[in-house]
Amino acid sequence: MATVELTKDNFEEITKVNSLLVIDFGADWCGPCRRFEPIFDSASERHQDVVFGKVDTEAEPELAMAYEIRSIPTIMVVKDATIIHQQPGMLTADLLDELLDQARAVDMAELQAEHEHH
Protein backbone atom coordinates (compact mmCIF):
# COMPACT_ATOMS: atom_id res chain seq x y z
CA MET A 1 0.00 0.00 0.00
CA ALA A 2 1.30 3.45 -0.83
CA THR A 3 1.93 5.99 1.87
CA VAL A 4 -0.67 8.66 2.57
CA GLU A 5 0.27 12.33 2.78
CA LEU A 6 -1.21 13.61 6.04
CA THR A 7 -2.22 17.25 6.45
CA LYS A 8 -4.07 19.16 9.12
CA ASP A 9 -7.18 18.75 6.94
CA ASN A 10 -7.19 14.94 6.76
CA PHE A 11 -5.14 13.90 9.82
CA GLU A 12 -8.02 13.47 12.26
CA GLU A 13 -10.24 11.62 9.79
CA ILE A 14 -7.47 9.20 8.72
CA THR A 15 -6.46 8.45 12.32
CA LYS A 16 -10.12 7.79 13.21
CA VAL A 17 -11.07 5.48 10.34
CA ASN A 18 -7.95 3.27 10.33
CA SER A 19 -7.38 0.90 13.21
CA LEU A 20 -3.58 0.83 12.83
CA LEU A 21 -1.54 3.69 11.46
CA VAL A 22 2.18 4.45 11.50
CA ILE A 23 3.22 8.02 10.83
CA ASP A 24 6.57 9.37 9.73
CA PHE A 25 7.11 13.03 10.69
CA GLY A 26 9.91 14.41 8.52
CA ALA A 27 11.03 17.06 6.02
CA ASP A 28 12.81 17.20 2.66
CA TRP A 29 15.85 19.03 4.03
CA CYS A 30 16.49 16.35 6.67
CA GLY A 31 19.14 13.78 5.62
CA PRO A 32 18.07 10.99 8.03
CA CYS A 33 14.44 11.51 6.90
CA ARG A 34 15.44 10.98 3.28
CA ARG A 35 17.43 7.86 4.21
CA PHE A 36 14.49 6.52 6.21
CA GLU A 37 11.98 7.08 3.39
CA PRO A 38 12.78 3.90 1.36
CA ILE A 39 12.69 1.83 4.58
CA PHE A 40 9.27 3.28 5.44
CA ASP A 41 7.97 2.82 1.88
CA SER A 42 9.11 -0.81 1.62
CA ALA A 43 7.54 -1.58 5.02
CA SER A 44 4.25 -0.24 3.64
CA GLU A 45 4.45 -2.99 0.98
CA ARG A 46 5.08 -5.71 3.60
CA HIS A 47 2.40 -4.60 6.06
CA GLN A 48 -0.78 -4.36 4.00
CA ASP A 49 -2.99 -4.15 7.11
CA VAL A 50 -1.29 -0.98 8.35
CA VAL A 51 -1.81 2.51 6.94
CA PHE A 52 1.47 4.39 6.46
CA GLY A 53 1.21 8.15 6.69
CA LYS A 54 3.74 10.94 6.24
CA VAL A 55 3.69 14.40 7.69
CA ASP A 56 5.92 17.03 6.10
CA THR A 57 6.72 19.14 9.15
CA GLU A 58 7.67 22.10 6.94
CA ALA A 59 4.28 22.09 5.19
CA GLU A 60 2.34 21.15 8.34
CA PRO A 61 3.88 23.06 11.27
CA GLU A 62 0.57 22.94 13.18
CA LEU A 63 0.62 19.14 13.23
CA ALA A 64 4.27 19.08 14.30
CA MET A 65 3.46 21.50 17.12
CA ALA A 66 0.28 19.70 18.15
CA TYR A 67 2.19 16.43 18.60
CA GLU A 68 5.27 18.12 20.09
CA ILE A 69 7.62 16.85 17.39
CA ARG A 70 11.04 18.12 18.50
CA SER A 71 13.30 16.16 16.18
CA ILE A 72 12.81 14.44 12.85
CA PRO A 73 12.30 11.83 11.73
CA THR A 74 9.82 10.92 14.47
CA ILE A 75 7.76 7.75 14.19
CA MET A 76 4.30 7.60 15.74
CA VAL A 77 2.00 4.59 15.95
CA VAL A 78 -1.74 5.20 16.31
CA LYS A 79 -4.08 2.33 17.14
CA ASP A 80 -7.84 2.86 17.41
CA ALA A 81 -7.30 6.65 17.40
CA THR A 82 -4.87 6.41 20.37
CA ILE A 83 -1.15 7.17 20.17
CA ILE A 84 0.50 4.01 21.51
CA HIS A 85 4.10 4.75 20.54
CA GLN A 86 6.21 7.74 19.57
CA GLN A 87 9.96 7.91 19.12
CA PRO A 88 12.43 10.22 17.41
CA GLY A 89 15.12 8.85 15.13
CA MET A 90 15.50 6.60 12.14
CA LEU A 91 14.53 2.93 12.45
CA THR A 92 15.98 -0.03 10.56
CA ALA A 93 13.57 -2.19 8.55
CA ASP A 94 13.82 -4.91 11.24
CA LEU A 95 13.01 -2.50 14.06
CA LEU A 96 10.09 -1.04 12.14
CA ASP A 97 8.71 -4.55 11.48
CA GLU A 98 9.13 -5.40 15.16
CA LEU A 99 7.39 -2.18 16.23
CA LEU A 100 4.41 -2.98 13.98
CA ASP A 101 4.19 -6.56 15.29
CA GLN A 102 4.15 -5.19 18.85
CA ALA A 103 1.51 -2.61 17.89
CA ARG A 104 -0.76 -5.33 16.46
CA ALA A 105 -0.43 -7.24 19.75
CA VAL A 106 -1.46 -4.29 21.95
CA ASP A 107 -4.74 -5.02 23.65
CA MET A 108 -6.56 -1.67 23.52
CA ALA A 109 -9.17 -2.67 26.13
CA GLU A 110 -6.35 -3.50 28.53
CA LEU A 111 -4.54 -0.26 27.69
CA GLN A 112 -7.68 1.82 28.29
CA ALA A 113 -8.37 0.02 31.57
CA GLU A 114 -4.81 0.83 32.71
CA HIS A 115 -5.32 4.51 31.92
CA GLU A 116 -8.55 4.58 33.94
CA HIS A 117 -6.73 3.25 37.02
CA HIS A 118 -4.01 5.93 36.95
Domain ranges of the chain: 4-117
Catalytic residue among 27, 30, 39, 99: 30
Catalytic residue among 21, 23, 33, 69: 33
**At a CB cut-off of 8 Å and minimum separation 6, what does 93 contact?**
39, 42, 43
Query: What would the pLDDT profile of 60-77 be if each residue is shown by its tens digit?
Result: 999 999 999 999 999 999
How is domain 4-117 classified at the architecture level of CATH?
3-Layer(aba) Sandwich (3.40)
Q: What is the pLDDT of residue 114?
A: 77
Give the SS3 label for residue 48: coil
Query: Peptide bond preceding 73: is omega within 30 degrees of 0, i.e. cis?
Result: yes
Residue type, 66: A
Q: Is 36 a catalytic residue?
A: no
97 is catalytic: no
CB-based contact 46:16 (threshold 8 Å): no
Q: Which of 19, 23, 30, 18 is nearest to 7 (CA)?
A: 23
pTM of the model: 0.92
Q: What is the pLDDT of residues 26-56, one digit of tens each?
A: 999 999 999 999 999 999 999 999 999 999 9
